Amino acid sequence: MVDDKKLTKKQLKAQQFRKTKDEKEDEKSSKRTAEEALESQQNDAGDDAGTEAPKKKRKTRRGKGGKGKKGNRFLIFVGNLPKGVTKVEIQAHFKSSAPDEIRVRPDKNIAFLEFDADKDQKNIQSRMDVALLQHKTEMQGRKINVELTVGGGGNSQARLEKLKAKNLKMDDERKIRTTKMIQESRAKASKDVVADGVSSGVHPDRMKLIQ
């Protein structure tokens, strides 16, 4: 006689499916319970501390729009400086050009004058001209070298050629601007002489002879 309790393969399969489904539901329920318990503990810890966890700072790329960005800055090289010269002494020597920054290399007796176009775009060229005009001027008995420099380091042939060409070009431009400045200064002085002659009642031509 066949046992009534003996199940067919189909019934066994259905029973196994139900068992698996129930186990999955139990696992999900247990997982939800564990997550809720953990969240509750974290909330309690946050309430006890009275502060929120610090937010991570977002990293920014250096360069465009980031930190460390430098605008249009121009460097002038100063060489053959007196041994032990200080930044204050260099600043006093170049006070007429008022560099935005001075970087001194006491181990090599050199310095770099930095001019920032973002701070003074209108007058930066004239300030640099004034600084370059101090080439071969004396500091503590030594004639200093004042020249334009290019970015980067080293003494490669390409860099030296680039530096030489740049200095020659700027030297020519500086001479033209210097001549113009002298002419403008003389013209202004001449106008002042004429104005003084008129105000004193002396003919301008006679005033020129007196001068």
pLDDT mean for each 10 residues of the chain (211 residues): 58 68 64 64 55 54 47 88 96 96 95 92 90 94 90 61 68 73 81 64 62 57
pLDDT tens sequence across 137-171? 999 999 999 998 865 555 566 756 766 676 677 66
* Tokens (6 digits) for 56: 């991570």
Report the phi/psi class of residue 150: left, alpha or beta, with left for phi > 0 and alpha for psi in -120 to 50. Answer: beta
What confidence score (pLDDT) does residue 68 get? 47
Supply the pTM of this predicted model.
0.47
Q: What is the pLDDT of residue 1?
A: 46
Count of CB atoms situated within 10 Å of the CB of 143: 10
* DSSP single-letter state for residue 51: S
pLDDT at 203: 62
Q: What is the pLDDT of residue 32?
A: 67
What pLDDT does 179 receive?
Answer: 78
Task: Give phi and psi for 153, each to the nearest 5.
Answer: -125, -175
Q: What is the pLDDT of residue 4?
A: 47
> SS3 letters for 140-181?
CCEECEEEECCCCCCCCHHHHHHHHHHHHHHHHHHHHHHHHH
pLDDT given at position 184? 83
Please identify, in words, the CATH class of the domain defined by 72-149: alpha beta
- Ordered by start, the domain boundaries in the chain are 72-149, 157-211
